[in-house]
Amino acid sequence: MPDDARFCPACGTPVIVETFDCPNCGSENDLSAPACSNCHMIFAKKKEEPKATFNNIFEDSHPENLEQSIADRFSLSFEKRLKEEHHPSLHNAYIDRFYKSDFRSSVDFRIKQLAEQAQRQPDGDKQFTFTALAFEELLDYFIIRYCEDLNEAVFDEKILKYQGRSAEGIQLGEMILDYLDFNNEGEAVYTNFVTMPSNKLKNAAENFLFPQKGETIYFICDLSTFGACKDGFAMTRDCIYWKMPFEKKQRVYYKNLEEIKRQEDWLTINGIFFNGSKTLNLKLIRLLKKLRELYGKK
């Protein structure tokens, strides 16, 4: 493994950074080991360090340790991204690609910048907040630019243009359609409701689309088996509406988005089942996480 690897590129297991020698037989052991792996001598219990949380990750950090703290947090963000969005069989390949690519040097440079920025920030939540967003943007760039052959869905590079922009600085409808990239999907999608067949529009309104007065509708996607638009999903200025076959209609406002997670080849939105196509699901995960970043509870 590379000398500075934090995870094994083959299996993803975290690397043991610090060890100590058994006082009885001299064998090397993990610092957290309760007993020697060789002679089984029981070690005296060490005083547990306070568990790091998002709120205290930078508390009492000395400047020379700040970069390592941020680097460790990036590793956790990477691990979380893989777990929530990518099939387990591909995790090792993504990790290996990261360690073998020149993207590592970009991450190291960004970590130094973040450490300098963190030193200028007040203690508390704010320090972690801006690093979390930076991690997401770094991972977006890595997945799109360096892992095209590994990705199960094609993520258009144009979604990178929304990095660093506030909700006020984007055209929401345009961004939503850029992320979902329906031109490369097989579902029937309607953005012009004047030309949309009236029976399908009626079915969508009766079965899953019930916007508030004045709520702009960006698209309606038909996911029904026979193309009647009785099942499907739509996105508006404020929320996502959907109905899956044999399920109840659902609605989640962007401001209330919490967990968006892949489950096999479908996904859950705040724990509620959703399933379009495999590739559309993966694009929707990215989009909903972006909307959570822009409009979710701070």
Which of 4-9's residues contact partners 24+ apart within 8 Å by CB, and which partners? 5/99, 6/71, 6/72, 6/75, 7/75, 7/79, 7/95, 8/95, 9/92, 9/95, 9/96, 9/99, 9/100
Supply the CATH number for residue 229's domain: 2.30.29
pLDDT at 61: 43
Q: Are residues 142 and 178 in the same domain?
A: no
CB 141, CB 252: distance < 8 Å: no
Q: Are residues 177 and 276 in the same domain?
A: yes
pLDDT at 39: 77
pLDDT at 56: 38
Angle between helices 125-146 and 103-120 (to 10 degrees): 160
Asked if residue 45 belongs to a domain, the reply is: no
Cα-Cα-Cα-Cα dihedral of 7, 8, 11, 12, to 10°?
Answer: 10
pLDDT at 17: 56
pLDDT at 138: 95
pLDDT at 53: 39
What is the C-alpha R_g of the chain?
Answer: 23
Domain that holds residue 92: 63-146
How many domains does the structure of the chain reveal?
Answer: 2
Taking the chain (298 residues) in consecutive chunks of 10 residues, what is each chunk's mean pLDDT?
A: 59 61 78 78 55 39 70 93 93 95 93 85 60 91 96 94 92 97 94 95 96 94 94 97 95 95 92 95 96 86
pLDDT at 21: 78
- Quote the pTM value: 0.74
pLDDT at 46: 43
pLDDT at 38: 81
pLDDT at 62: 47
* Beta strand spans in 72-185 (E): none
Asked if residue 106 belongs to a domain, the reply is: yes
Asked if residue 11 belongs to a domain, the reply is: no
